[in-house]
Structure 1
């Protein structure tokens, strides 16, 4: 096995999870950690189920993302147990028995109905920290999600093990395949839906596997931050393409965004290049001890410098930031933690005992306010957009003179620009997980 093979790294990962669980249970005063995988949710007045999303705390322990009504049981000092549902079912494909690099580390109990799990769970539910949604309750084992346990485990999830980083690198490689296919489809004149299908085909994942819904935006649709409509006809003329799309590797996510200009749209391409260069400098700023809130503010200043250079704003970057003009062009946060979830937990946590670090005033959509530490993986996703409703607010606030509206009108049909990489904070230089995957795909 190579050093980056998840199978070679899993044993250490499990040791880390056990150590964290021991501490969390001690803090909460519990004897057992019990984690249901989750159950299916059904649409109201119908028998159709929604796409299943496994409990992220469950898939931290085992690389299983589609199993329902199954349980992890961990008691300090003992081997962890997996209660695995393999139902009698002729309506659906029955999950295969557990296999792979991780099974030797568990006592595995295969059950045929969800209720058969009950005698395999700890006898006294009151001594259990049960992490999950209320719908997962079985008998007296009702998820209680004790705060002391949740705070501790969520905080430490920010620090990725080598196993987790290896899987996140795999998720980068998968997503980059899709990004390359999507760009080729755009260059060939495809519509948004066809680009989306090209992406899914290249990655080998669909809506049940992808970590979030693909954002595939042509032209002015790039100004809708979470555009997911997928038009069936390509606009004419074709000006620009923004794609925000990731992939999953055994439950771990990647989150990548790129923006492209159509051939002949050189000025917009020049702006993309400027944002890309600034984004790479922001990625390099991911260092241990650096306050992510400051990185967000620095991003505002850098992006406003670009808009100043392109004649979109008339004031200094500092003035644009102070008056709120910058937020009209860059309305979201610079990024977030990523791992088992795309927007991973504890982004505002003050410590593993709880508490909250507030966002900077005037920046309500930043999802991470912690000081960076080795092991954290964050997204760096600066963007500039031409959003009519936000630009109207600039006028209403009395800051119209700060903007060259003719230049805004020129760039409006392109929608916007966002560039996003996933970056690992280390004890030294930042480790960009995304750029090497693109380089290797060339």
Structure 2
């Protein structure tokens, strides 16, 4: 989404309260850091070493938290408590590239907007005493006299509270989920029609109306054994001789917010399809655990037990689910975390934050890849993504640890050609029952 944002009555009605919340957070963060102003550069283009080609531009998340502008490098926000926020918007004279459109949409009336033609001109519109400014951004965003300082008390406070989404943000994420689900349906159709991984990827992008630079992360499109590579992004150009299974982990963006959705399919109504159904049912139970006051670490640990029970039911392991978890056998089949926070970033910040002043909440022992350890509270949005995989490296480690007898290797061999299973939804913690944005979009 560029600076021009389509009118949306629902978002227009929710945006003022969102802005008020951000202004209150900024005022408290500045007070804690001893600053008078918050300056947020949008970020700049980065160029490849020994080349004149730029990397894909990514907007500063601290910038897009305030307004749905994601393609305006060289711009700045000026936030001063008690004063209308200012957008210093870079609209260069350029005939080599498309110039960012003039700001428009439901949000513009809430900002004083100054148009500049060069990045250096921004300094004319920033507070005169840079020492009184908390400047949040990357080093490359610096202009004469104004270099990002990213003061810890300010960053810690703002990032911690970003976990609590406003109703406006939930609406933005709902739209990102709607787009993502539309594209997931197109991807499944392409799989059923016999497309290659690359062809499925293109079908997804076409249906989403987003290319690789628009999507919140690189699409993971896996046929057959490739699903055993957690972040598989190679995308074969030709279809396999036989498509047995399909795992797709792909999201969509809307106004700077992300969705993150994973689905797994079997080509036939076979035993692997039954295992997918079992994981899907268990995943729904895990989603229901996204309740206020629940420790997210416990959701992760409970997921291990539930997935071990599925492995036991399908004859893959020979020990009890409890023994599988205790000995680490379950971790060989489910080697990642149950999920993470999501919002302006796919893996949202402050997942381990102990408080808005800093500190860290440790992961459970033996679970190094969990990305969120906080206690869930209303407004938090998390992913729930259990998985079962058949990964040679991890299975070989079980044998090396003397745990081979805990596994029926013939059953492993039967499932290995399918790669693995992952089911992922984006779930909002509320004061009552959870709101599953992904299932809501699939049901529409």
Q: TM-score under structure 2 normalisation?
A: 0.98
Query: How big is the shift at 1:317?
Result: 1.1
Superposed counterparts of 1:343-354, under 5 Å: 343-354=347-358
Residue 65 in 1 paired to residue 58 in 2?
Answer: no
Query: How big is the shift at 1:398?
Result: 0.8
Q: Which structure 2 residue ranges, 5 or more long, are not aligned? A: 1-5
Query: How big is the shift at 1:263?
Result: 2.2
Residue 246 in 1 paired to residue 251 in 2?
Answer: yes
Cα offsets for 1:4-25 (capped at 9, x unmatched): 8211111110000000000000
Residue 412 in 1 paired to residue 421 in 2?
Answer: no
Superposed counterparts of 1:139-150, under 5 Å: 139-150=144-155
Aligned to 1:317: 321
Per the alignment, in what secondary structure is the counterpart of residue 393 of structure 2?
helix
Residue 367 in 1 paired to residue 371 in 2?
Answer: yes
Residue 281 in 1 paired to residue 311 in 2?
Answer: no
Per the alignment, in what secondary structure is the counterpart of residue 334 of structure 1?
coil
Aligned to 1:17: 22
Match of 1:255 among 260, 265, 270: 260
The answer to whether the 8 A contact 2:8-2:106 is kept is: no
Query: How big is the shift at 1:102?
Result: 0.5
Query: How big is the shift at 1:3?
Result: 10
Aligned to 2:3: none
Match of 1:327 among 324, 331, 337: 331
Aligned to 1:236: 241
Residue 400 in 1 paired to residue 400 in 2?
Answer: no
Query: How big is the shift at 1:140?
Result: 1.6
Aligned to 2:225: 220
Aligned to 1:26: 31
**1:227, 1:324 → 2: CA distance?**
24
> Greater shift after overlay, 314-323 or 374-383?
314-323
Query: How big is the shift at 1:312?
Result: 0.3
Cα offsets for 1:398-420 (capped at 9, x unmatched): 11100000000000010000000
**1:155, 1:231 → 2: CA distance?**
40
Query: How big is the shift at 1:43?
Result: 0.6
Query: How big is the shift at 1:122?
Result: 1.1
Residue 89 in 1 paired to residue 97 in 2?
Answer: no
**What CA RMSD, in Å, does the superposition of the two structures yield over aligned residues?**
1.2
Aligned to 1:271: 275
Per the alignment, in what secondary structure is the counterpart of residue 23 of structure 1?
helix
Query: How big is the shift at 1:240?
Result: 0.1
**1:297, 1:267 → 2: CA distance?**
26
Q: What is the number of residues matched between the two proteins?
A: 439
The answer to whether the 8 A contact 2:7-2:106 is kept is: no
Per the alignment, in what secondary structure is the counterpart of residue 346 of structure 2?
coil
Aligned to 2:140: 135
Query: How big is the shift at 1:356?
Result: 0.2
Cα offsets for 1:5-64 (capped at 9, x unmatched): 211111110000000000000000000000000000111111111110000000011100
**1:317, 1:129 → 2: CA distance?**
51
> Greater shift after overlay, 169-178 or 2-11?
2-11
**1:56, 1:259 → 2: CA distance?**
30
**1:93, 1:249 → 2: CA distance?**
20
> Greater shift after overlay, 231-240 or 196-205?
231-240
**1:170, 1:372 → 2: CA distance?**
23
> Greater shift after overlay, 2-11 or 103-112?
2-11
Aligned to 1:338: 342
Aligned to 2:45: 40
Aligned to 1:302: 306
Cα offsets for 1:54-97 (capped at 9, x unmatched): 00000011100011000000111101000000000000011111
Query: How big is the shift at 1:237?
Result: 1.5
Aligned to 2:172: 167
Query: How big is the shift at 1:2?
Result: 12
**1:17, 1:394 → 2: CA distance?**
49
Query: How big is the shift at 1:236?
Result: 1.7
Q: TM-score under structure 1 normalisation?
A: 0.98
